[in-house]
Amino acid sequence: MANSFNPLKLFGTLVGFLSGKQKASEIDRELPFTVMLFTLMAASGITVYDSWKKMCRVSLLPKTQKEAEEVVRQVEVLGYDPLTVMYRKAEQATSKNYRDFLAGYVSSVKSGVNVVNFLRSKLRSILETQTAAAFRSIERLGTLVEAYAVMLIVTLCVYILYAVMSATATSEYMNFGLSSSTSQPLMYALIFLATPFTTLVFMAIANLARQSSLLSTREAYRNALISGGGASMFFVAVTSLPQLGPVVETLTLPGIVTLCLAGMSLPPAFAYRKIAKVNFAAEEAIPSFLRDVTESRKIGLSPVKSLLHATQRRAYGTFSETLQLIRSQIEWGVPLRKIFINIKKNIRSWPVLVYFLILVETVEFGGGSANALEILSDYSEKNKEIEANKRATLKPYVILAFVWSILIALTTSIVAITIYVLTQATAPGASPTMLSSMQQQVMILSTGIIFQCWMSGFFIGKVSEGTFSAGFKYSSMLAVTAYVSLILAQNYLTGMLGVVSS
């Protein structure tokens, strides 16, 4: 049949749609900085085509760089006119803002109007659109976290239901002298496959919805590989060597798993904290630094002296160390572009590096125009405000992660331990094998809860700070929180019900 359902075709269409949306969002992210550079170069008298050629070496804007290389290739290899290439790319663009920018740029050049005025007007429009989009993204992230919390509540209900049903089944099996081992694979699949897979799906969605401002956190992942290998070797040794049997009896399986997960997460967590401390301080201070440079330029100081004057302030926190290095290199006569290359060795924040790049381009191409610096300062201040609002809005969701970890651990433990103790009280003749099987189920549930809470840390890290590396600190804390909750519930609840049953 011609209209028969084709799942492969549907999947291909969905993948194409998502990839198109992802590409559009990446272009939109770079677009304000791209328009700034085009505005700067147009104000300096650089032609449209030469502007595209210069954009080919701006590696911090990879999507724009790729577009520029394509424009240059079609002009130099295929012989097309630059405006014709821009118009065709506007028709093919997946981003509405990028399409409007290209079409408007071509129209302004052809009609003979002031291109600089158009670009400045377009830049203000893009900034307003980006601000509104940022606030909408906060709402989407909040909805995503709430959906994840609902998924965890459903998981909690499934855990409780399974604990009740497995206890009942165990009792029935043991009364007839049978074994409940056939139910174990289902429990393993539920706890260690189905629930973690659902968390991975939410992590993938969060990865599309939240982008990190850090270009690289490879030290954290490198430490995770090393510590993960050590934790895995420790787990295998403890659980497989008979000589270490007393350790397993003392710590129990949930305790060993918590120790391994926390031990694996702590080294990369410290590595990420070191990176984040420097770069987040730079993101916090860069708007004030750019404003100081702009105000110094307005009173008539040269671009270089404006930079030197701005670096003299001591109110930038950790970022002051980077600025002192910049000041020393300027005084020694190091070119600004070389200074920018040196900054990239210490700073990994994408917005901060782009701001410095535009600052260097402003000085080299436009002579440090006060108007251009004013645009750059305004945008950095608005972007700082947006990021501050985003972090303040998402901060409560970090607390929510600890709440649901405690809730899942306590509730599941209460149900499982209650069933176990009541079985002892109501069936005093129960065989040791049945009670041992129920204890094993409680231990497996506890281990699965700890592992699930540990994975939740990466989801929260991505949502709150934009990178999975931030999840190492949250995952270790959530795993320990779940373990402590389990221990408290098991100890106090068992003692209390033990008195009642006796």
Task: Read off the pLDDT of residues 2-28 as tens digits, 9 standing for 90 and up.
Answer: 444 444 443 344 344 344 445 557 788
Question: For position 254, what pLDDT does the model report?
Answer: 85
In this predicted structure, the answer to whether residue 163 has a pLDDT above a threshold of 70 is no
pLDDT the model gives residue 425: 61
423 pLDDT more than 70: no
> Phi then psi for 349, rounded to 5 degrees?
-75, 120
Does residue 56 register a pLDDT over 60? yes
- 174-190, pLDDT tens digit by residue? 444 444 444 567 777 77
Find the mean pLDDT for residues 64-69. 89
Domain-wise residue ranges, the chain: 17-113, 139-215+385-501
Q: Per-residue pLDDT tens for 482-498?
A: 999 888 877 776 555 55
pLDDT tens digits, 213-253? 888 888 889 999 999 898 889 888 887 877 766 777 777 88
Q: Cβ distance 396 to 145 under 8 Å?
A: no
Q: For residue range 113-139, list pLDDT tens digits in order.
A: 788 888 888 888 887 787 777 778 888
**Mean pLDDT across 274-297:** 86
Q: What is the pLDDT at residue 478?
A: 92
Asked whether the predicted pLDDT for residue 155 surpasses 50, the reply is yes
C-alpha to C-alpha distance for 125 and 131, rounded to whole angstroms: 10
pLDDT at 225: 92
Question: What pLDDT does 490 receive?
Answer: 73
- Among 455, 454, 471, 14, which Cα is nearest to 212's? 471
User: So what's the pLDDT on residue 477?
Assistant: 92
Q: What is the mean pLDDT of residues 255-266?
A: 90
pLDDT digits (tens, 9 = 90+) for 71-104: 889 888 888 888 888 888 888 888 888 888 888 8
User: For residue 267, is pLDDT > 90?
Assistant: yes
What gap in Å lies between CA 390 and CA 376, rounded to an integer? 21
SS3 assignment for 77-94 = CCCCCHHHHHHHHHHHCC
401 burial type by CB count under 10 A (0-12 exposed, 13-18 middle, 19+ buried): buried
* Gap between the terminal Cα atoms of the chain: 71
pTM: 0.81
Mean pLDDT of the chain: 78
